Chain A
Amino acid sequence: MSVTLIGAAVVVFFVIRVVPGNPIAMMLPPGATEEDIARLTAHYGLDKTIFEQFWIWLAGVFHGDFGTSISLRQPVMPLVLGRLPATLELAIFALVIAVVIGGAMALTGVRHRETRTETAIDVANGVGLSIPDFLWALILIVLFGVLMPVFHISGRISPSLDLPFVTQFYVFESIARLRFDLWWDLLKHMFMPALALAIPLAAIISQLLKQSLKETMHLDYVTLSRTKGYSENHVILSEALPNAVLPTLTLIGVQFTFLIGGTVIIERLFSYEGLGNMAIDAVINRDLPLIQGIVIVFALLFTIINLVVDMTYALLNPRLRHA
């Protein structure tokens, strides 16, 4: 785990040091003297050798100091932490949508297996899987942003609203403050980007869960519970589902990291003020410390998710739990 993180840090650090274009020159007004540039370069430590820069940065990271953003002239850490909640809320909302849609499709497909309904679900899964979130986002923008404008397609919350929030977790805080008007406005903004992120994952969940449910439905204990007088719905939900859900759960973990990776471009498309949107700006502005900080936070997030999935898996599987 830590090896992966340090590896990611090394890769990104050295890759971005090859970026052409002097970030210092970009941030100074035209007409700045050579001296000014040299002074600022020294200020950001960019005059040292690349290895010295790396050690300074790494030592800082271990103390929770990710350096100072060149373009925004603020410490990286609070900047990144300020944007992270927006991205997390979007990703979690997308995950919830994906699980609900994918789960419902899988259950419907199993309930009506070997009928036209199942065929239709298979086709939908195929299309959902093949098309990445970027294209879904554009399609949603055309359909529900322009042709049938029901949802917002830009921003995180309507700019006209007064925000009483003290944290950056707007969705959670609006619930805590019982401000459901704000909560609803947030959801209306999040729905399109979240749905775009959710569709491919929903298709994957639907496909895999349906397949493992169908396999489970042939097992003896499922048949036995039928003879006890249970309905088909009960058999699927309470006998087959708990056992069929494990492979899907592991998959959701990996796929959730992919989903978070997708937020980068989706946030850009919907002008959603999250970490990914900030990352693209950071690249465009050649803001090296900020890029590093964001990448490390993403890598850390992915690692934590994988860890949580492994733990949940062990918790849910009685065979592992007692081993």
Chain B
Amino acid sequence: MLDGRGSIKRRLGARLWLSGTWLGIMALLALFAPLISPHDPLAQDLFAGRLPPFWASGSDPAYLLGTDSLGRDVLSRLIHGARIAFSVALIAGLATAIVGSMLGLLAGYLRGWVDVVISRLVDIWMAFPPVLFAILLIAVLGTGLTSIIIAIIVIDWTRFCRVVRAEAMNQSAMDYVSSAIVAGRPRRDILWREILPNVLPTIVALSTLEMGIAVIVEAILSFVNLSISTDAPTWGGMIAEGRTSIYQAWWVLAFPLGVLFLTVLSFSQFGEGLKDRFDPVLR
């Protein structure tokens, strides 16, 4: 039994470390993108279009991961793409967490008509296909980073709201809340100082998941050509561009796809790892 528990813990630890390392590297790349990237991500070189990555024959060592059809350096675009991806991930992830959790807390703690209204809104939101909703919103808001972030908040607040509402309801039923009520503490105080701290681990874990989702939404919108601008080095845009030349230059699609895969996986595993770390049963 003891060694069983030990191996579970070790596995959780490895998961947290691996995903954390990858996210750390990506964050550093994003932060220092202009210093690190070997080329200007927008610079076109039509004479050096569709160069393969370094190990293939016909490659140019100046372009480690090859170039796309316009001769832009794939590696540099990846590094600059990390900037946009991480900006969207952090801002949209946190903002969605704040908006959704707030509504969830209010609904779960106050109950009554507030709960009815918020839950009904969640139901209505769940009746939309999220991708269609996102595309619709971008059509309304116009393209650009801000629009994407707003669209993500508007679409995904329900994810937090549902979970946090249920969690807040659980916590409200607990003895420590009853005793705080008996002690005459004001409701606002109970909500912020008693319930919120207990719901926080769930919110933190969900937020990391949401960051991964935000990166994906950005990629999807770029793919439908509704993201920032067709020129900007986003992973989604690179994928869309790579999709069109998949038979001539697979690497234009494969590299951003691989990076996106690992990043989304890491965000989600990091969140799961954090949740387990917070979990008093396994701790």
Contact = CB atoms under 8 A, between A and B. Distances in A.
Given A138-B253, A139-B257, A262-B131, A291 B136 contact: yes
A299 B127 contact: yes
Given A5-B127, A127-B265, A130-B269, A18 B219 contact: no
B264 A135 contact: yes
B140 interface: yes
B269 A126 contact: yes
Contact of A298 (B129, B243, B247): B129
Interface stretch (A7-15, A37-45, A216-224, A307-315): A7-15
A283 B139 CA distance: 7
A268 B132 CA distance: 11
Interface residues of B, number: 40
A130 B131 contact: no
A145 B224 CA distance: 20
A62 to B, nearest CB: 18
A15 B127 contact: no
B54 interface: no
Nearest to A134: B220
Nearest to A291: B136
B268 interface: yes
Interface in B213-265: 213, 216, 219-220, 223-224, 239, 243, 246-247, 250, 253-254, 257, 260-261, 264-265
Nearest to A257: B126
Nearest to A258: B130
Interface majority SS (helix, strand, loop, mixed), chain A:
helix
B128 A280 contact: no
Contacts of A130: 212, 264-265, 267-269
A261 interface: yes
Interface string A240-257: 000000000000000001
A264 interface: yes
A146 to B, nearest CB: 5
Contacts of B135: 264, 279-280, 283
Contacts of A21: 139
Contacts of B272: 126
Nearest to A153: B246
Nearest to B129: A261
Contacts of B126: 257, 302
A146 B213 contact: no
Contacts of A8: 124, 127-128
Contacts of A18: 140
A4 B125 CA distance: 9
B279 interface: no
A196 to B, nearest CB: 13
Interface residues of A, number: 50
Given A142-B257, A146-B247, A20 B142 contact: yes
Nearest to B138: A283
A121 interface: no
A161 interface: no
Contact of B132 (A3, A139, A295): A295
A148 interface: no
A92 interface: no
B218 to A, nearest CB: 11
Interface in A112-151: 126-127, 129-132, 134-135, 138-139, 141-142, 145-147
Contact of B130 (A12, A129, A261, A283): A261
Nearest to A18: B140
A265 B220 contact: yes
A260 interface: yes
B163 interface: no
A295 B129 CA distance: 8
A279 B132 contact: yes
A134 B136 contact: no
A4 B136 contact: no
B123 interface: yes
Contact of B246 (A141, A291, A302): A141
Nearest to B261: A135
A279 B224 CA distance: 12
B136 A15 contact: yes
A95 to B, nearest CB: 16
A138 B137 contact: no
A281 to B, nearest CB: 10
24 contacts: A4-B120, A4-B124, A8-B124, A8-B127, A19-B136, A127-B265, A130-B269, A131-B264, A132-B213, A134-B219, A134-B220, A135-B216, A135-B264, A142-B250, A260-B129, A265-B131, A268-B224, A279-B129, A283-B135, A284-B139, A298-B128, A299-B127, A302-B126, A302-B127
Going nearest first, the 9 A-B pairs with the smallest beta carbon separation are A261-B129, A130-B268, A7-B124, A299-B127, A264-B131, A8-B127, A265-B131, A4-B123, A264-B132
Given A257-B126, A268-B224, 11 more contacts: A3-B120, A4-B120, A7-B127, A11-B128, A130-B212, A130-B264, A141-B243, A146-B247, A276-B131, A298-B127, A298-B129
Interface of B: 120-121, 123-124, 126-132, 135-137, 139-140, 142, 212-213, 216, 219-220, 223-224, 239, 243, 246-247, 250, 253-254, 257, 260-261, 264-265, 267-269, 272
